[in-house]
């Protein structure tokens, strides 16, 4: 399974999954159709699946046009997003599994950003290889999504699920927010030397207009404040020693940053 990152809109990323043996493709969160159609034409690949993480228009905006070109493609999304995702045919819940390119992904129910948000986790094919996490707007490189339909209890539970995945997991999040996320992170975790180094690296990458996605989950666990609500330095920064309250205060500070 080959993964191509496709920039879209102002700061979105679409992910095209390609099986070169069968010459079929799937797409994760197509914000718009045109760049996906262009890439499919280059590959001469047939689109068979659309994997949506949630209903926001910058994640499903390309569904309808893609279905006009590939009428047999199946549209996947969370069961609780019924009626909110264009063309949805498959309604997924926690623990369900989806298949593509002889790979199988576990569906994780991760509400918080929205009430129906899901993520897709493809386990590594072999020992030593990476897993692939398509997490939409739940987890970002250096950050997490705003709580638009959910609450801090839900989001801590959702991020705990993602944090429990193996370190060698690539995080394919749907927006290029990394630089600003790390700028905020430094305000609450300024003694974190790895965070400082990561910020310098990301600043250099973005100065060349290159993508910072995917990131590695092991790096997120050590530098992303929204996965570190149980760390004394973060708790001290927000004057809370209760995990959910610590997270909620961090999220509130980031909302005002």
Q: In which domain, by residue range, is 32 found?
A: 2-178+214-220
**Annotated catalytic residue 137:** yes
CB of 120 closer than 8 Å to CB of 62: no
Neighbours of 222 (CB within 10 A): 16
Q: What is the CATH number of the domain that holds 173?
A: 3.60.15.10
Establish whether 113 is a catalytic residue.
yes
Assess if residue 52 is contained within a domain: yes
Residue of 18, 55, 86, 175 marked active site: 175
Active site residue 54: yes
In the structure encoding, which two tokens stand for residue 8, read together? Answer: 């879209």
Whether 206 is in a domain gets the answer no
Tell me whether the omega of the peptide bond preceding residue 214 falls within 30 degrees of 0, making it cis: yes
Pairing of strands 143-144, 169-173: unpaired
18 a catalytic residue: no
Question: CA nearest 171: which of 63, 53, 81?
Answer: 53
* Distances 247 to 142, 146, 223 between C-alpha atoms, Å: 14, 12, 15
Residue 43 placed within a domain:
yes
- Mean pLDDT in the chain? 97
Does 137 map to a domain?
A: yes
CB 256 within 8 Å of CB 188: no
Q: Is the pLDDT of residue 8 over 90?
A: yes
DSSP assignment, residue 123? P
Domains of the chain: total: 1
The answer to whether residue 225 is domain-embedded is no
Q: Report if residue 197 sits inside a domain.
A: no
Specify if 65 maps to a domain: yes
Annotated catalytic residue within 55, 86, 113, 117: 113
Let me know if residue 250 belongs to a domain.
no
Q: Which of 58, 81, 96, 189 is catalytic?
A: 58
pLDDT of residue 128: 85
Q: Which of 18, 55, 56, 86 is catalytic?
A: 56
The pTM of the whole model exceeds 0.75:
yes
What are the pLDDT digits (tens) for 216-242?
999 999 999 999 999 999 999 999 999
Query: What value, to the nearest 5°, has the Cα angle with vertex 79 and ends 147 and 45?
Result: 100
């Amino acid at each position: 399974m080959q993964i191509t990152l496709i920039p879209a809109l102002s700061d979105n990323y679409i992910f095209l999954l390609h099986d070169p043996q069968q010459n079929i493709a799937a797409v994760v969160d197509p914000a718009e159709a045109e760049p996906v159609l262009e890439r499919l034409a280059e590959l001469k690949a047939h689109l068979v699946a659309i994997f949506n993480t949630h209903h926001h228009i910058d994640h499903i905006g390309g569904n309808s046009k893609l279905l006009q070109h590939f009428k047999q493609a199946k549209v996947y999304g969370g069961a609780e997003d019924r009626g909110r995702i264009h063309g949805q045919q498959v309604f997924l819940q926690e623990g369900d599994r989806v298949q593509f390119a002889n790979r199988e992904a576990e569906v994780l129910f991760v509400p918080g950003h929205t009430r129906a948000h899901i993520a897709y986790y493809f386990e590594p094919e072999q020992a030593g290889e990476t897993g692939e996490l398509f997490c939409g707007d739940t987890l970002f490189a250096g950050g997490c999504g705003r709580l638009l339909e959910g609450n801090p209890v839900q989001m801590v539970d959702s991020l705990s699920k993602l944090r429990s995945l193996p370190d060698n997991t690539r995080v394919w999040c749907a927006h290029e927010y990394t630089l600003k996320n790390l700028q905020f992170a430094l305000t609450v975790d300024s003694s974190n030397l790895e965070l400082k180094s990561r910020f310098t690296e990301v600043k250099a990458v973005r100065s060349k207009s290159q993508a910072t996605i995917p990131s590695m989950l092991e790096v997120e666990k050590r530098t992303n404040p929204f996965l570190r609500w149980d760390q004394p330095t973060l708790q001290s920064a927000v004057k809370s020693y209760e995990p959910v309250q610590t997270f909620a205060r961090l999220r509130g500070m980031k909302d005002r940053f």
